[in-house]
């Protein structure tokens, strides 16, 4: 029977305090996949203790990787006894990041298979760029009913020209190129910080990867990679989410180990909207907000543009603005599924094509909502903490896919949140339908 986490939030309390930003989910997943390329022990530090990381570790163990949990956020992995998968594992389908195992397995074993990736549903997320990128190295890639299968007698470097800066296709191309023969050049590559962190990890292990002019990555293949110890970068989406939560509740927050350089598209917007934002040293950020935000307009874009993964949380913050704000979504066409739930709090939010139109209101009110995806859950939690009265958030377990210990961290800042795990059979019929729809 399906289990669900329900949050009960008493809103209207400003968040105050200090948090340490956890390791990046989006960097951890490709780095974990890349351990398949290394024959020897890899020690990873700062891995976030979240469900997506646990799922990836499980998928690696199914492929024969020895996984040892040393302490919180610190793991030791050894892929010397790993073997290629000849059939797609059904377990792969619940994790979008499992697609990285296609390129990693191909590079390590010359054949690989993954279940069709899952993750949050924002509409069609085609795999054709992944297939194109791997075929450019001479691989045969087939899409079967339950998954993707790739094999090659050898991988030979060449030119890959991506029609869109897809993070997943860029990662798979880099993984394949690292152990391919000769030189590869990837044009139109994604430039997100977590892609750069993967490159840093691979280069520390002996890869020869250079980031050239914007959107171009050159890789000279090597025969082997060496064992290493590596710390995963901090999570810019987690940092941005907590900044927006503090701003929405008109509070004050101090983030340590904050990826300041990666938030260059968010921090100016927060300042423009009326927040006081300042840096403390090289990796600490503080924010203070006392008034309703001023309206702003922004467009989500691939990095270094404003990240789509902060779009719903920004909408929740702007629901209290003094005027009309707009967020144009240019990454995921169906990112707007959060709008109906945000309206339940009294927010005046509507969709106009690829834009969210947000007309600010003086206050929000407690509501009962069901989260359709990870970032929508974060947006609803933002709204609930800023709203007057009590709110219930169903399917809140989605938060655990991408945020490490979010309730503990928010309670430390003064949020009043209780949680309960229930079986869907104990819920009213309408809520059972909503829970199934969020899977």
* CA dihedral sign of residues 289, 292, 295, 299: positive
Cβ 184 vs Cβ 218: under 8 Å:
yes
List the Cα angle 193/307/335 in 5-degree steps.
135
In DSSP notation, 87-130 reads S--GGGGG-GGGGHHHHHHHHHHSEEEEEPP-SS--S----HHH
Query: How far is 36 from 108, CA to CA, in rounded Å?
Result: 6
Q: Which of 120, 131, 275, 321 is catalytic?
A: 120
The token pair at 370 is 């069901």
Q: Is 120 known to be catalytic?
A: yes
Rg (alpha carbons) of the chain, rounded to whole number: 22
The token pair at 418 is 């209780």
List the Cα angle 91/337/352 in 5-degree steps.
145
CB count within 10 Å of CB 277 equals 18
- Name the residues annotated as catalytic: 120
């Amino acid at each position: 029977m399906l289990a669900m986490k329900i949050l009960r939030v008493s809103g209207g309390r400003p968040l105050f305090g200090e948090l340490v930003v956890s390791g990046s989910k989006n960097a951890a997943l490709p780095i974990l996949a890349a351990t398949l390329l290394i024959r020897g022990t890899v020690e990873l530090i700062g891995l976030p203790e979240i469900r997506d990381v646990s799922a990836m570790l499980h998928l690696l163990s199914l492929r024969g990787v020895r996984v040892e949990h040393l302490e919180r956020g610190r793991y030791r992995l050894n892929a010397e006894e790993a073997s290629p998968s000849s059939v797609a594992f059904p377990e792969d389908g619940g994790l979008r990041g499992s697609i990285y195992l296609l390129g990693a397995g191909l590079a390590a074993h010359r054949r690989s298979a993954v279940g069709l990736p899952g993750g949050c549903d924002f509409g069609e997320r085609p795999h054709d760029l992944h297939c194109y990128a791997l075929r450019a190295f001479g691989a045969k890639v087939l899409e079967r009913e339950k998954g993707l299968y790739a094999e090659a007698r050898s991988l030979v470097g060449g030119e890959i020209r991506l029609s869109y800066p897809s993070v997943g296709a860029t990662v798979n191309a880099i993984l394949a190129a690292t152990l391919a023969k000769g030189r590869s050049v990837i044009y139109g590559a994604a430039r997100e910080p977590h892609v750069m962190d993967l490159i840093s990890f691979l280069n520390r292990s002996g890869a020869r990867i250079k980031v050239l002019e914007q959107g171009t990555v050159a890789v000279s293949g090597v025969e082997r990679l060496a064992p290493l110890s590596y710390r995963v970068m901090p999570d810019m989406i987690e940092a941005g989410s907590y900044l927006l939560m503090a701003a929405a509740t008109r509070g004050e927050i101090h983030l340590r180990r904050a990826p300041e350089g990666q938030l260059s598209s968010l921090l100016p917007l927060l300042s423009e909207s009326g927040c006081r934002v300042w840096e403390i040293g090289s990796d600490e950020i503080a924010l203070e907000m006392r008034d309703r935000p001023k309206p702003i307009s922004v467009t989500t874009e691939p990095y270094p543009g404003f990240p789509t993964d902060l779009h719903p949380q920004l909408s929740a913050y702007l629901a209290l603005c003094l005027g009309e704000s707009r967020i144009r979504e240019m990454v995921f066409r169906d990112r707007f599924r959060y709008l109906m739930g945000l309206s339940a709090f009294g927010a005046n939010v509507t969709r106009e094509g690829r834009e969210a139109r947000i007309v600010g209101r003086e206050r929000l009110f407690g509501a009962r909502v069901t989260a359709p995806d990870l970032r929508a859950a974060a947006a609803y939690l933002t709204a609930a903490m800023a709203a007057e009265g009590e709110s219930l958030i169903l399917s809140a377990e989605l938060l655990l896919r991408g945020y490490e210990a979010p309730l503990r961290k928010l309670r430390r800042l003064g949020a009043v949140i209780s949680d309960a795990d229930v079986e869907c059979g104990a819920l009213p019929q309408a809520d059972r339908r909503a829970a199934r729809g969020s899977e």
